[in-house]
Amino acid sequence: MIATLAWWMFGVAAVVWLAVVCATLLAGRRRRRRREQGSDGLVRVEEATDRRLERVVAVSVFATILVLAGFLAFDFAVGRALAQHPNVALTIEVTGRQWWWSARYEDPAPHRIVETANEIHVPVGQPIQLKLRAADVIHSLWVPSLNGKRDLIPGYTTTLWFRADTAGVYRGQCAEFCGLQHAAMGLYIIAEPPVQFAAWLAAASTPTAPPTDPVLVRGQRIFMRQCAVCHSISGTEARGTVGPGLSHFKSRSSIAAGTLSNTRENLTRWIRNPAAYKPGVRMPAVAIDDTELATLVAYLETLK
């Protein structure tokens, strides 16, 4: 809908621009016609010419008004259409922080609440309502292919509605300058058929089983020691809220809010020195040696 409006406006604008530029050029070209001049070289314009000019200018102004009125009407129509949304929808609470997104799927049964970060799954074809809050500064959630953007403002709760008609992965980005890593605050909205979505939701609300392999157990202990202060994993004692929740971390396609793809190598490099990828990021470089790092990563890789 917005695209149609945009193309119409662009088309009309292009025509208007062309008309004005051509009119200017034509007006300037008429040097051949002899103008009535006084002895001082000045042009004295006759009454008749003046009247004609008045009519031309008046018509042009009227045409301008008509074009603008048309734009206005079209815009109002699109605006009203976009504002229509049903009462029932899946509601997801999204909170923007410097420089990542947390998402929370509410459920009356507390054990089915899902908290995730940076990748938001939604069912295809259903209206989705995002309730947007900001934890620190103003952010703006924007997924271009799905809808316009909406600001996340501290002190306010704003709403964004959309409906994904086709399944797929839609990339979005923060669209309000929010500090050092505003450029790297991306997110993904993954639209999947309702059955798959339900399955994902069920899996996401299930805590991961505790590890049995001794390497993985050691990895989890390292996690508790170094990472649990800021990160959380459902089913463990890690309850940190400063950084993104890492439950089912391996099911995400990217890390660092859409900056890197979620591979073992990237993860290793990221943990070793986050600031190399996102200077100014709040996550510090953790002081662990390579072996410990490998163990930790091995553990994280199991969080599907």
CB of 228 to another protein, least distance (A): 26
Two tokens at 7? 């193309």
Query: Whose Cβ is closer to another protein: residue 190's or residue 296's?
Result: 190
Query: Whose Cβ is closer to another protein: residue 110's or residue 155's?
Result: 155
Query: Whose Cβ is closer to another protein: residue 34's or residue 304's?
Result: 34
Q: Which residues of 155-186 are buried (b: 16+ CB within 10 A; e: fewer)?
A: eeebebbbbbeeeeebebbbbbebeebbebbb
CB of 220 to another protein, least distance (A): 32
Query: Whose Cβ is closer to another protein: residue 19's or residue 215's?
Result: 19
CB of 79 to another protein, least distance (A): 5
Query: Whose Cβ is closer to another protein: residue 137's or residue 228's?
Result: 137
Q: Using alpha carbons, list the distances in angstroms from residue 193 to 76, 175, 197.
A: 33, 28, 6
CB of 138 to another protein, least distance (A): 6
CB of 76 to another protein, least distance (A): 6
